[in-house]
Amino acid sequence: MDPLTIQHSRGRYSIRPVPMEEALHDLPASTFLITDENVARAWGHLFPKGTPSLALKAGEQSKTIAVYEGALEWLAQSGATRASTIVAVGGGVVGDAAGFLAATYMRGVAYVQVPTSLLAQVDSAIGGKVGLDLPSGKNLVGSFWPPSEVRLPVEALSTLPADEFRSGMAEVWKYGFILDEGLVQRLDEGPMHAHDSRLPGVIQECLELKKMVVEEDEFEKTGRRAALNFGHTIGHALEKAARYEGLKHGEAVSIGMVVEARLGERLSLTPEGTSSQLAAWLEREGLPVKSSLLAGEQEMLDAMAKDKKATECGLSFVLLTRIGDCKLVHGVAASEVVAAMRDA
Ligand SMILES: NC(=O)c1ccc[n+]([C@@H]2O[C@H](COP(=O)([O-])OP(=O)(O)OC[C@H]3O[C@@H](n4cnc5c(N)ncnc54)[C@H](O)[C@@H]3O)[C@@H](O)[C@H]2O)c1
Ligand SMILES: [Zn+2]
């Protein structure tokens, strides 16, 4: 893998592939490390001695205001100053939560991302979106706060549970579906695993695609960055319906991509047969493509109405115009969404 640089409105940061030991070496002075209990168990032996560290409970439950407040207090009581750096060592939950702490503690401090899940390595650690969930919905509190650098240890994936790896693969497929037919062809060779020789190349491709999108539309103003939300309008509503338990982010996105492909077919935007093709690929990858939660139509619609893309003109969806391209569509009728969910 090659290093990459991301340009943003306030500067730039590098993404450097490194072994885990190097990722945790030579950290800035006055570092405060934030991780979760699983990552601490697997990699804590490499955490720098003497660096204050906080291990959050693993899982989405740590992206809450209550946990955030506790972590702010921990920073204050441990002596973190404006010159301190937060180092986020973990998956997307740790990255989002620690990034939001960095964005807001003392009006903002620097932070370094050390993503340890596949999902974080291909997606959440890059692009500067940080945030927390509210009881009303996912990621409803947040900021754009780019990291000062990303140290990317592919090696960390060796301890990632297989179901978490598959969850990250949903986002990998997503990049192919929305932006890159060639990536889909490479993934079509067969299910991917943590020691797959294709993996470094595939992560690199995802990073290059995310770089292109976030550099073009850093603050999600033009609709370009919204493309990354393919599968997420349904996916986030499913996660909420599941109370953030029992359904991983990538699993919800996998189901969401199939439903949203079906919605695109209903609206004559997505070629007929695309949703069943997506379902076949995702199922072969070991991902779910349907859920009984889709039957809770009103609950799903209420959750979607709170989606950040929703406007007074109705629901908005990223829909595929073919495999490898997509379009943001506003004002989608709720009846069409319900019909697409019923066909699951
Ligand atoms: N900011 C963004 O742009 C963005 C983009 C996509 C997703 N997200 C967010 O990311 C989150 C999901 O991320 P995730 O799937 O990484 O979830 P996660 O952080 O909960 O990690 C998944 C699980 O894997 C464990 N884990 C992580 N790395 C490990 C390792 N190397 N060894 C052993 N266990 C390990 C974690 O402890 C956790 O149990 C969601 O909250 C989602 O909203 C944010
Ligand atoms: Zn996602």
pTM recorded for the entire structure: 0.95
Q: What gap in Å lies between CA 133 and CA 93, rounded to an integer? A: 10
What is the pairing mode between strands 149-152 and 110-115? parallel
Q: What is the pLDDT of residue 312?
A: 62
Distance CA 231, CA 13 (A): 28
pLDDT in tens, 75-127: 999 999 999 999 999 999 999 999 999 999 999 999 999 999 999 999 999 99
Distances (CA, A) of 60 to 32, 132, 190, 242, 247: 21, 9, 30, 12, 11
Q: Which ligand number lies closest to the CA of residue 253? A: 2
* 94 C-beta closer than 6 A to ligand 1: yes
Shortest CA distance to 154 belongs to which of 195, 206, 113, 212?
195
Query: DSSP characters for 266-322?
Result: HTT-SPTTHHHHHHHHHHHTT-----GGGG-HHHHHHHHHTSTT-BTTBEEEEEEEE
> Residue 81 CB: number of other CB atoms within 10 A?
11
DSSP string, 196-256: -TTHHHHHHHHHHHHHHHHHH-TTS-SSTGGGGGTTHHHHHHHHHHTTTSSS-HHHHHHHH
Pairing of strands 85-90, 110-115: parallel
Distance (Å, rounded) from C-alpha 182 to C-alpha 186? 6
Structure-block tokens of residue 20 = 């885990």
Does residue 249 line the site of ligand 1, with CB under 6 A? yes
User: Ligand 2 center to residue 9 CA distance, Å?
Assistant: 23
Structure confidence at residue 136 (pLDDT): 83
CA distances from 343 to 43, 267, 274, 302, 334 (A): 44, 14, 14, 19, 14
Nearest CA to ligand 1 atom 39: 58
| CA 341 – CA 37 distance, rounded (Å) | 36
Pocket lining: 36 vs ligand 1, CB cutoff 6 Å: yes
Question: What region does 59 belong to: left with phi over 0, alpha with psi -120 to 50, or beta?
Answer: left
The whole-number pLDDT of residue 279 equals 98
Residue 80: CB partners within 8 Å, gap ≥ 6?
30, 32, 86, 105, 106, 109
CA 91 – ligand 1 centroid, Å? 3
DSSP states along 50-103 = T--EEEEPSSGGGSSHHHHHHHHHHHHHTT--TT-EEEEEESHHHHHHHHHHHH
Pocket flag, ligand 1, residue 220 (CB < 6 Å):
no
Which parts of the chain register pLDDT below 70?
308-313
The 10s digit of each residue's pLDDT in 161-178 is 999 999 999 999 999 999
φ, ψ at 37 (rounded to 5°): -65, -35
Contact assessment for residue 269 and residue 329, using Cβ atoms and an 8 Å cutoff: yes
**Which of 56, 126, 247, 249 has the most ligand 1 atoms within 8 A of CB, as the residue to mutate?**
249
Max CA pair span of the chain: 59
Residue with tokens 């890159």: 180
58 CA from centroid of ligand 1 (Å): 9
Which ligand 1 atom is nearest residue 139's CA? Answer: 43
Q: Which residues are marked as active site?
A: 107, 129, 171, 210, 220, 225, 229, 232, 236, 249
SS3 259: helix
Cα–Cα distance for residue pair 294/338, rounded to 1 Å: 9
247 lines ligand 1 (CB under 6 A): no
Q: Quick one: tokens of 166?
A: 């598959």
Q: What pLDDT, on the 0 to 100 scale, is given for residue 310?
A: 63
Q: In terms of DSSP bridges, do strands 149-152 and 11-17 run parallel, antiparallel, or are they unpaired?
A: parallel
CB 92 within 8 A of CB 123: yes
